[in-house]
């Protein structure tokens, strides 16, 4: 039997749960009656608290190695990844509340495009198909953003923030790639999420973002983001990577875009703007080309996405 077949029931279930979990992130953030920066802080702070006992018990040797031994360099990459993750959340999450969930989710899905450009800067240049995909994605993003100019300046600001969120996500993944060569997922995510939360706390205080006083529905939405996108969604994708190709996983991650759009439409009444749909379709096509034409090892790295 092919152990990497996505048709195994457990793998199919894991992928289904993962797509649904990450698709819920944008609508939940838009629904939450709390500042986006505060939601980002609580998302990472709660996830860090959940991971702390696991890391303290199961990964003590790695943590000692970071503090006193051979893993100090990897620990530095974890800290840097946490900084860029904070920048990602501080840009993408406000974009969801300022604009359309569908557009913000699609624009942040351009992360593989920026990943390809980072690889090109490092001397690992994309092939012809990669550049074609990058061109399509950039054209689609420009189309979707241009369609928002007629809506409002706030909508354009949301688009720009979402694009920056994708860029920071790509840098975060590139740094995480360096850390993950020696550290386990648990140790890496624990340090990364903790660093992110530590950075976002003073940012929230300086920006005057209220960290409490929310209604029960908002707290439930924040907890749902933590359990869903932050812990469950990415864990299921990583589980599936052991049993199916990273190409399959990377393409399925794109289902977050229509999934989030559908949830936002049914739940929040955010009907996608018809004039932006061709641009979003072109953007997704470009990202799919970049992913499908990437090297197998690059698939594996891009499959471990943040959301």
Instruction: Give me the pLDDT at residue 116, please.
Output: 78
Can you list the alpha helix ranges (DSSP code H) found in 99-254?
Answer: 101-108, 111-121, 128-149, 153-179, 185-207, 216-225, 234-241, 246-253
The model carries a pTM of 0.83
Consecutive sets of 10 residues in the chain, 307 residues long: mean pLDDT of each? 57 84 92 94 94 92 89 92 95 92 88 80 76 84 73 86 92 84 87 96 96 96 92 75 63 81 90 82 84 56 42
Cβ(253)–Cβ(106) below 8 Å: no
Report the candidate in 259, 244, 251 with the shortest Cα–Cα distance to residue 305. 251
Kindly state the tokens that stand for 55: 């890391």
Cβ(301)–Cβ(173) below 8 Å: yes
Torsion of CA 133, 138, 144, 145, to 10 degrees: 170
CA distances 67 to 60, 75, 144, 187, Å, are 11, 8, 46, 12
Instruction: Give me the pLDDT at residue 300, please.
Output: 41
């Amino acid at each position: 039997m092919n152990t990497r077949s996505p048709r195994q029931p457990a793998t199919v279930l894991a992928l289904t749960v993962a797509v649904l979990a990450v698709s819920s992130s944008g609508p939940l953030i838009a629904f939450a009656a709390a500042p986006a920066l505060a939601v980002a802080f609580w998302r990472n702070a709660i996830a860090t608290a959940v991971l702390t006992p696991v890391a303290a018990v199961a990964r003590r040797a790695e943590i000692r190695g970071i503090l006193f031994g051979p893993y100090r360099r990897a620990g530095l990459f974890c800290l840097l990844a946490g900084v860029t993750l904070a920048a990602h959340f501080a840009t993408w999450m406000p974009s969801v509340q300022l604009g359309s969930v569908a557009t913000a989710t699609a624009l942040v899905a351009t992360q593989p495009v920026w990943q390809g450009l980072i690889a090109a800067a490092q001397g690992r240049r994309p092939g012809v198909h990669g550049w074609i995909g990058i061109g399509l994605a950039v054209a689609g993003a420009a189309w979707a953003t241009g369609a928002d100019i007629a809506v409002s300046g706030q909508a354009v600001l949301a688009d720009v923030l979402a694009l920056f969120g994708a860029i920071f996500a790509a840098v975060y993944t590139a740094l995480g790639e360096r850390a993950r060569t020696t550290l386990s997922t648990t140790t890496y995510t624990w340090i990364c999420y903790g660093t992110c939360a530590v950075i976002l706390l003073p940012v929230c205080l300086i920006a005057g973002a209220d960290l409490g006083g929310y209604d029960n529905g908002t707290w439930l939405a924040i907890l749902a983001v933590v359990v869903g996108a932050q812990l469950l969604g990415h864990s299921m994708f990583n589980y599936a990577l052991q049993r199916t190709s990273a190409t399959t996983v990377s393409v399925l991650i794109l289902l977050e875009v229509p999934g989030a759009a559908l949830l936002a439409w049914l739940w929040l009444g955010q009907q996608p703007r018809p004039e932006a749909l061709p641009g979003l379709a072109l953007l997704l096509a470009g990202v799919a080309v970049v992913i499908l034409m990437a090297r197998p090892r690059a698939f594996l790295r891009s499959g471990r996405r943040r959301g």
